[in-house]
């Protein structure tokens, strides 16, 4: 039996009194000053009707973990080549989440033919819709070559065997296995991390998040993206929530006195309503959930009409042609990255791919005119729908991108209208929709009729907006609302796991704890995400956005400077290809970069070639299983001597090993699991923010650059139009601006 105990969930909680990692002097650390500071802050927050959550550096567990990390850096017995051979330890450092599709989460359109073996009937149940239309039924015999074009794109057809496989999938329990035995932790280390979570009131912070307290204190807003994927009629505890929250951070007192949770539900809320007025209405969360589903119903109806091939019910372009292309126009803040990640992931799924046949989804997010040029150069404007996204259309980037695309659309349609004069309002009515919180203002400011507007709310955060109309609308137009519903069900499944599973079995919590351990205590500033699926090629960029924009902070929630760094540099590419070779070299023989490896038991596009020893998917998964062990064990000089490697090459081929990683093995990549992955990494980010005591839900760091850019924009406008001299900038910026302006009109 190894001297390193396994991860035992029944171990009594020590709250930092376990001194196995502490020196004699460390064991006698005096936390009296911290305790006094803690009590004073607690009393201060109580007086302001706010709850106080202690910082991780204020509790003794922080010092214990620092001591523990020091031993991992110099104790040979704690090298991963030894730890990974400890069977008891490894068996304890795993977690499994098993989910099953229930009748409540299976789209009704996929239940119609549950008992039919000879023909396929995929039809949508619209009995509860006031504007229901008769749906087309598609059927076929068991002919495996059946490829007849469906009358309606939304009716997902196929062979009987394919339908049986689908039903079997619904009954098949989807599994996520997390193995973190290749992390530099033991059972005792994990217990210290759980003790740290207890000491900083992690579960209370998580509950404040779940129930809608205003944990985004700098903006006085709740964080409710988990509500966006709750099913209709979900039994959610009632909480009081302002419909229109105030974005003014000064409304509830000084930010220096802000708390992680604000229980003052009667706070003054004078934010503008979508109609331009003000409201003090404070409905329960049920009202918010109902509003969310009103928008989802609107998206479902609209996407069906756009996708329908039935001209009697379908919505068409201004010239009568069927819409086949969707262009999402957003700001340069990266909001599109999550939607693009989901889009690419869904494109590998057979049913999603079939639903999207003949359709294309495009993105314009960069103010660089080349982005719009690349997107529109092969588009047919008569078949194009523009989805423009912005909370309030206050950003010059958002407005510039929208005006650029609208200019292209109007010019092209007016030049191809065969002599018919097409007016801009008519083009807009048939080809442009908006997603915004300023629903009533879009017609006045942008000329988009309110009937073409899909609502979001002021509390929605751009990087967490994929499950709102921001992402659901373009994805439903492309893949169908049924496919998107499965994606939302997967995200909700992970939400339930995060909010309800015990911490020791909670995969987002475990990943967050390990992230804090590696970053704050082990000192690793970078981490990698390696999905073994080409369909997940956009995932690393999205996780980079969510994680770095959320947790790249210098101060705690109360405005005091952190005593440690928060946030990591995130990188990654799909495994199995050439693009990840550069950082694998760095990971093996250069810097230590903890990694998450993600793999799947089934391929969405399986292929077996005659004469090959293994399938293509097995070939891919060999790398998934091999890389973590290679990083952990490395290769010692003695191994190279025994292999007969020439003396001059040996040192170049030594691998020190001891490179930590986690492995996440999932059943399959489908819409449901894509939703799970998105929510999993959203919640990992929140976990680390809660442990660090920061606000993961604002992004003031991006504002300074925008402010400076705005000043330069005014200078360029004045210099271009009136010849105004450059002034008000430092010598470096002034010189560069003068060179740029001297180049004449070429900069336009």
Over residues 498-538, the pLDDT tens digits come to 999 999 999 999 999 999 999 999 999 999 999 999 999 99
Short-list 627, 595, 578, 586, CA closest to 530: 595
CATH superfamily of 26-99+176-211+501-698: Glucose-6-phosphate isomerase like protein; domain 1 (3.40.50.10490)
Distance CA 31, CA 199 (A): 14
Tell me how long the chain is.
748
Percent of the chain with pLDDT over 90: 59
User: Residue 720 belongs to what H/E stretch?
Assistant: helix 703-722
Distance CA 353, CA 344 (A): 10
Q: Which residue has the higher pLDDT, 703 or 737?
A: 737
Those residues whose C-beta lies under 8 Å from the C-beta of residue 223, and which sit 6 or more positions away, are 209, 215, 216, 459, 461, 464, 697
Q: Under CATH, what is the fold of the domain 316-486? A: Rossmann fold (3.40.50)
Q: How far apart, in Å, are the Cα atoms of 36 and each of 50, 256, 591?
A: 19, 19, 40
Residue 616 half-sphere exposure toward CB, CA atoms < 13 A: 11
- Of 254-263, 435-444, 554-563, the range with the highest mean pLDDT is 554-563
Short-list 56, 42, 197, CA closest to 562: 56
92: helix, strand or coil = helix
pLDDT given at position 458: 87
Q: Which residue has the higher pLDDT, 168 or 646?
A: 646
Burial class for 258, CB neighbours closer than 10 Å (0-12, 13-18, 19+): buried
Q: Which residue has the higher pLDDT, 32 or 22?
A: 32
- Of 468-482, 565-579, 706-720, the range with the highest mean pLDDT is 468-482
Short-list 477, 468, 437, CA closest to 229: 468
* Residue-averaged pLDDT of the chain: 80
User: Residue 544 belongs to what H/E stretch?
Assistant: helix 539-551
pLDDT given at position 148: 35
- List the single range of 18-27, 51-60, 463-472 with lowest mean pLDDT: 18-27
CB atoms within 10 A of CB 207: 13
Q: Which residue has the higher pLDDT, 40 or 147?
A: 40
Q: Which residue has the higher pLDDT, 461 or 39?
A: 461
Quickly state the pLDDT bin for 101 (edges 50, 70, 90): low
CA 562-501-695 angle, to 5 degrees, is 20
Taken in order 550, 553, 557, 563, the sign of the CA dihedral is: positive
Say if residues 329 and 387 touch (Cβ distance below 8 Å): yes
Residue ranges of the chain that CATH labels 3.40.50.10490 = 26-99+176-211+501-698, 316-486
């Amino acid at each position: 039996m190894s001297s390193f105990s396994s991860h035992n969930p029944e171990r009594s909680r020590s709250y930092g009194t376990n001194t196995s990692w502490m020196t004699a002097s460390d064991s006698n650390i005096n936390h009296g000053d911290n305790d006094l500071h803690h009590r004073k802050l607690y009393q201060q927050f109580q007086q302001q009707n706010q709850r106080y959550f202690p910082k991780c550096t204020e509790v003794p567990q922080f010092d214990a973990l620092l001591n523990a990390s020091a031993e991992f850096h110099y104790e040979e017995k704690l090298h991963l080549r030894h730890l990974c051979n400890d069977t008891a330890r490894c068996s304890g450092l795993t977690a499994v989440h098993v989910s099953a599709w229930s009748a409540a989460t299976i789209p009704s359109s996929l239940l119609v033919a549950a008992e039919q073996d000879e023909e396929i009937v995929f039809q949508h149940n619209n009995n509860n819709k006031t504007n229901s239309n008769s749906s087309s039924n598609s059927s076929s015999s068991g002919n495996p070559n059946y490829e007849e074009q469906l009358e309606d794109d939304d009716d997902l057809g196929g062979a009987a065997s394919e339908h049986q496989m689908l039903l079997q999938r619904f009954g098949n329990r989807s599994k996520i296995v997390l193995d973190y035995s290749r992390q530099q932790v033991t059972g005792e280390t994990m217990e210290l991390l759980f003790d740290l979570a207890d000491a900083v009131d992690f579960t209370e912070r998580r509950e404040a998040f779940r129930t809608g307290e205003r944990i985004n204190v700098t903006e006085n807003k709740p964080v409710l993206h988990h509500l966006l994927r709750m099913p209709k009629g979900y039994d959610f505890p009632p909480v009081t929530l302002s419909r229109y929250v105030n974005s003014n951070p000064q409304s509830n007192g000084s930010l220096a006195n802000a708390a992680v949770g604000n229980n003052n539900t009667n706070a003054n809320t004078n934010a503008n309503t979508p109609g331009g007025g003000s409201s003090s209405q404070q409905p329960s969360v049920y009202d918010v959930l109902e509003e969310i589903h009103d928008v989802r119903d609107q998206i479902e109806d609209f996407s069906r009409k756009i996708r329908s091939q039935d001209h009697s019910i379908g919505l068409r372009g201004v010239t009568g042609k069927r819409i086949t292309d969707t262009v999402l126009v957003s700001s340069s803040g990266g909001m599109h990255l999550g939607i693009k990640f989901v889009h690419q992931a869904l494109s590998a799924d057979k049913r999603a791919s079939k639903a999207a046949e003949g359709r294309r989804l495009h993105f314009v997010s960069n103010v660089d005119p080349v982005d719009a040029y690349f997107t529109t150069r092969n588009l047919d404007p008569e078949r194009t729908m523009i989805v423009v996204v912005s909370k309030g259309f206050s950003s010059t980037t958002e407005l510039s991108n929208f005006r650029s695309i609208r200019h292209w659309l109007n010019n092209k349609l007016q030049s191809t209208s065969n002599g018919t004069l097409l007016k801009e309002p008519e083009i807009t009515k048939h080809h442009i929709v908006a997603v915004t919180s300023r629903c009533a203002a879009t017609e006045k400011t942008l000329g988009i009729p309110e009937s073409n507007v899909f609502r979001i709310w002021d509390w929605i955060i751009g990087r967490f907006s994929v499950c709102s109309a921001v992402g659901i609308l373009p994805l439903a137009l492309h893949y169908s609302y049924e496919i998107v519903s499965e994606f939302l069900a997967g995200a909700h499944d992970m939400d339930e796991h995060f909010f309800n599973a015990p911490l020791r079995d909670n995969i987002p919590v475990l990943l967050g704890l390990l992230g804090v351990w590696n970053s704050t205590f082990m000192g690793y500033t970078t981490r990698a995400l390696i999905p073994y699926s080409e369909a997940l090629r956009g995932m690393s960029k999205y996780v980079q956005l969510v994680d770095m924009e959320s947790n790249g902070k210098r101060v705690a929630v109360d405005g005091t400077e952190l005593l440690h760094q928060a946030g990591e540099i995130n990188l990654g590419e799909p495994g199995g290809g050439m693009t990840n070779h550069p950082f694998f070299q760095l990971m093996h023989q250069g810097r230590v970069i903890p990694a998450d490896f993600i793999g799947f038991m089934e391929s969405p596009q399986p292929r077996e070639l005659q004469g090959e020893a293994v399938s293509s998917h097995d070939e891919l998964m060999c790398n998934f299983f091999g890389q973590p062990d290679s990083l952990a064990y490395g290769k010692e000089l003695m191994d190279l001597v025994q292999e007969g490697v020439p003396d001059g090459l040996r040192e170049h081929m030594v691998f020190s090993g001891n490179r930590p990683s986690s492995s996440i093995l999932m059943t399959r990549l489908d819409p449901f699991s894509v939703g799970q992955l998105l929510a999993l990494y959203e919640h990992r980010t929140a976990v680390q923010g809660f442990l660090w005591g920061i606000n993961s839900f604002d992004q003031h760091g991006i504002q300074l650059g925008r402010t400076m850019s705005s000043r330069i924009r005014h200078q360029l406008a004045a210099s271009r139009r009136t010849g105004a001299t450059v002034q008000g900038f430092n010598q470096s910026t002034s010189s560069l601006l003068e060179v740029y302006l001297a180049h004449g009109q070429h900069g336009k």
